[in-house]
Amino acid sequence: MKLHQVLQQAATDPRALLDAWWLNPHPRISAVIGTLPEGAPFAGDVDAWCVALRTTLRAQLGPLFAVLFEGKVAEVQRRLELLSGWSDARLANHLERVLREVPWSSNGARRLWTQIFSLVTSSKDPRFVALAQELPPKWGLRSAQQEWMTRAFTQAVRSLPAVTELTPEESALLQVIEREAFAARPPLPKSRTIDFSAVYAAPHDDAPRLVLADALLEQAAPRGELLSLQLRATKTAAEERRERALLKAHAKTWLAPFGPSLGAEVTWRRGFPAEGLVKFRNAADVEKYGGLTEWATFEALTWSPPRSPEHQLAAGFIGPAFRHLLSADDVHVPHLLASGAVTWALRKVRGAVENAEGLRAVLESKTLPKLEALHVTDTPFTAQWLDGVKWGALQEFGVATRYPPLLLHVLAAVEASPLKRLQWGRALRFHRADDGTLSKLELLDWRGAYRVDEQLGSLPAGAVSSLVAPADRHWSTGPLGRALERVVKQQRHRPSVARSAALHLGLNGVRSIAWGEGRVWVSDGQLLRAVDAKTLEVAASFPGGFVAEGGRDVLRLQGDRVELCELRTGALRTVYEGKNLQRLVRSSDGTRAAVRQGAKVRVLEVATGAVCFECSGEEPELDARGARLIVRSRQQVELHDVETKAKQVIEGWPFAPNFLADGRLIQRRDGIARIGEVAFPTNGEHAWHACSTTDGARVAIVHPGATFVFDGHSGRKLAQHEGGWAGIFAPDGTLFIAANDRLTRV
In a domain, 140, yes or no: yes
Together in a domain, 205 and 162: no
503 against 149, higher pLDDT: 149
Full-model pTM? 0.56
What is the domain range of residue 695? Answer: 660-746
Together in a domain, 221 and 88: no
Checking DSSP bridges between strand 519-523 and strand 572-577, what pairing results, if any?
A: unpaired
User: Which residue type sits at 351?
Assistant: G
Among candidate residues 473, 502, 531, the one where a domain is terminated: 502
Position 192 pLDDT exceeds 50: no
Together in a domain, 243 and 289: no
Position 151 pLDDT exceeds 60: yes
Report how far residue 263's alpha carbon sits from residue 330's, in angstroms, rounded to the nearest whole number: 15
Q: How confident is the model at residue 190 (pLDDT cuts 50, 70, 90)?
A: very low
In a domain, 562, yes or no: no
Together in a domain, 276 and 154: no
Position 429 pLDDT exceeds 80: yes
Supply the mean pLDDT for the chain: 85
In a domain, 739, yes or no: yes
Q: How confident is the model at residue 383 (pLDDT cuts 50, 70, 90)?
A: confident
Report pLDDT for 315.
83
Torsion sign over Cα 308, 309, 310, 316: positive
Together in a domain, 242 and 326: no
Q: Phi and psi (nearest 5°) for 12?
A: -105, -25
Task: Convert the pLDDT of each residue in 279-338 to its tens digit.
Answer: 988 888 888 888 899 999 999 999 988 776 667 778 888 888 999 999 999 888 888 887
Q: How confident is the model at residue 187 (pLDDT cuts 50, 70, 90)?
A: very low
ω into residue 41 within 30 of 0, thus cis? no
Position 191 pLDDT exceeds 60: no
Together in a domain, 38 and 178: yes
Together in a domain, 276 and 240: no
- For residue 62, which of 114, 18, 106, 103 has the smallest C-alpha distance? 18
- Kindly state the average pLDDT of the residues 376-385: 81
The length of the chain is 746
347 against 673, higher pLDDT: 347
Instruction: Please give the radius of gyration of the chain, using alpha carbons only, rounded to the nearest integer.
Output: 34
First vs last C-alpha separation in the chain: 102
In a domain, 396, yes or no: yes
Together in a domain, 156 and 200: no
Position 448 pLDDT exceeds 70: no
Report pLDDT for 454.
76
In a domain, 618, yes or no: no
Report how far residue 352's alpha carbon sits from residue 338's, in angstroms, rounded to the nearest whole number: 14
% of the chain surpassing 90 pLDDT: 28
Q: How confident is the model at residue 655 (pLDDT cuts 50, 70, 90)?
A: low
- For residue 667, which of 644, 642, 648, 650 has the smallest C-alpha distance? 650
Biggest CA-to-CA distance, the chain: 108
H or E element: which one contains 191?
Answer: helix 190-193
% of the chain surpassing 70 pLDDT: 92
- Kindly state the average pLDDT of the residues 462-469: 87
Task: Convert the pLDDT of each residue in 479-490 to its tens digit.
Answer: 788 888 888 876
- For residue 484, which of 493, 492, 496, 473 has the smallest C-alpha distance? 473
Together in a domain, 316 and 212: no
Together in a domain, 94 and 159: yes
- For residue 264, which of 277, 273, 247 has the smallest C-alpha distance? 277
Position 500 pLDDT exceeds 60: yes
Among candidate residues 502, 517, 534, the one where a domain is terminated: 502
Report pLDDT for 407.
84
Total tally of structural domains belonging to the chain: 4
In a domain, 602, yes or no: no
Task: Convert the pLDDT of each residue in 236-288 to its tens digit.
Answer: 999 999 999 999 989 988 998 998 899 889 999 999 999 999 998 888 888 88
Do the Cβ atoms of 358 and 332 come closer than 8 Å? no
Among candidate residues 222, 237, 254, the one where a domain is terminated: 254
Together in a domain, 731 and 673: yes
Report how far residue 737's alpha carbon sits from residue 704's, in angstroms, rounded to the nearest whole number: 11
Together in a domain, 329 and 474: yes
In a domain, 329, yes or no: yes
Question: What one-character DSSP code corresponds to residue 167?
Answer: P
Report pLDDT for 670.
63
C-alpha dihedral, 145 to 146 to 148 to 153, nearest 10°: 130
In a domain, 558, yes or no: no
